[in-house]
């Protein structure tokens, strides 16, 4: 069981890992061993996640989530398979943990009278600067 928050955790059997050859660091060793990890987690079919978390997760995951709702995380930054495996799991937990936070609703506000005046004053100053750039008229 992988703990995400105090009240949320996902089962090990919901994850599938595939080990492939990495293109990162490792020298000659990288050509002979499958140290990169491709971690897959079917978020939309997961019984561990509430619906609202699934919805936010699909927005946060972006391109890491495919059309079927499976999150794919590829880790190859370390030389060892175990370190890459741990890195991929940490990144998945971090992603799910971000999705558990409910965003604060936005409150509509209106600009103050002083801020409106300041904006208009700035516009008129800019207008004056641009007007001075033109050719001088007959009366100048």
What CATH number did the domain enclosing 35 receive? 3.30.160.20
**Residue 128: DSSP 8-state:** H
Does 64 reside within a domain? yes
Does 34 reside within a domain? yes
Of residues 32 and 117, which shows the higher confidence score? Answer: 117
Does 110 reside within a domain? no
In this prediction, residue 29 carries a pLDDT of 62
Does 116 reside within a domain? no
Model confidence pLDDT, tens digit, residues 20-40: 777 755 666 666 667 788 888
Domain count, the chain: 1
123 falls in which pLDDT band (50, 70, 90)? very high
Does 10 reside within a domain? yes
Contact 10, 53 (CB under 8 A): no
- Containing domain of residue 85, as a range? 2-100
In this prediction, residue 119 carries a pLDDT of 97
Q: Which residues contact 65 (CB under 8 A, 6 or more apart)?
A: 43, 57, 58, 71, 72
Q: How far apart are the two ends of the chain, measured CA to CA in Å?
A: 82
Does 46 reside within a domain? yes
Does 60 reside within a domain? yes
Q: How far apart are CA 87 and CA 93, in angstroms?
A: 10
Tell me the pTM. 0.64
- 33 CB burial (10 A radius; 0-12, 13-18, 19+): middle
- Mean residue pLDDT of the chain comes to 82
Q: Mean pLDDT check: name the lowest of 6-20, 61-75, 79-93, 116-130.
A: 6-20
Rounded mean pLDDT, 80-104: 85
Does 78 reside within a domain? yes
């Amino acid at each position: 069981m992988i703990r995400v928050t105090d009240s949320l955790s996902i089962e090990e059997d919901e994850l599938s890992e595939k080990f492939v050859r990495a293109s990162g660091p490792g020298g000659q060793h990288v050509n002979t061993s499958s140290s990169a990890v491709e971690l897959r987690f079917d978020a939309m079919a997961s019984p561990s996640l509430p619906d609202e978390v699934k919805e936010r997760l699909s927005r946060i995951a972006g391109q890491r989530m495919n059309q079927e709702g499976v999150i794919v995380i590829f880790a190859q930054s370390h030389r060892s398979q175990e370190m890459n495996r741990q890195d991929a799991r940490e990144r998945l937990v971090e992603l799910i943990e971000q999705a558990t936070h409910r965003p604060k609703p936005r409150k509509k506000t209106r600009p103050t009278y002083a801020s409106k005046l300041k904006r208009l004053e700035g516009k008129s100053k800019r207008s004056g600067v641009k007007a001075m750039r033109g050719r001088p008229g007959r009366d100048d």
